[in-house]
Amino acid sequence: MTNAAEVVSIDFAKAGGMVAGIVQDVKSDEVLMLGFLNEESYRRTIETGFVTFWSRTRAKLWMKGETSGNRLRVISASTDCDNDALLFRVEVEGDGLVCHEGTVSCFTKPIEIGSK
């Protein structure tokens, strides 16, 4: 059963009804992607056990991988000290390529740090 108290504890009001959700592979610990969740997508994620974002560009609910087959099965989830960010530790279904560009993780572009 979903615990209603936990559903409503997230601080959606802080930033226009959305919080950031980090997706991390539960086995490799690799950070796979980041998306945003509004209250409804958060509730769907908890109910279904699959990460469901709110697509800011398309303005609709988006169960990640629903069409590609690479759904993100939530193994564990947590929020932070301010209740304004989410961390989902997941198993990726399908071929495991989370990014629509065909890579395991969306974080593929290195940024050079100037002080090095």
Residues that bind a copy of itself (CB under 8 A): 1-3, 6, 14-15, 20, 22, 24, 29-31, 33-34, 45-49, 56-57, 74, 76-83, 85-87, 99-101, 106-116
Name which of 68 and 83 has its Cβ closer to a copy of itself: 83
CB of 18 to a copy of itself, least distance (A): 9
How many other C-beta atoms are found inside a 10 Å radius of the C-beta of residue 112? Answer: 5
Name which of 44 and 69 has its Cβ closer to a copy of itself: 44
Residues 6+ away with beta carbon under 8 Å from 91: 25, 26, 27, 72, 73, 75
β-pair partners for 21: 35, 86
CB of 23 to a copy of itself, least distance (A): 10
C-alpha–C-alpha distance, residues 39 and 46, integer Å: 11
CB of 69 to a copy of itself, least distance (A): 18
Name which of 9 and 94 has its Cβ closer to a copy of itself: 9
CA dist list (Å): 83 to 36, 60, 65, 94, 95: 14, 23, 26, 31, 32
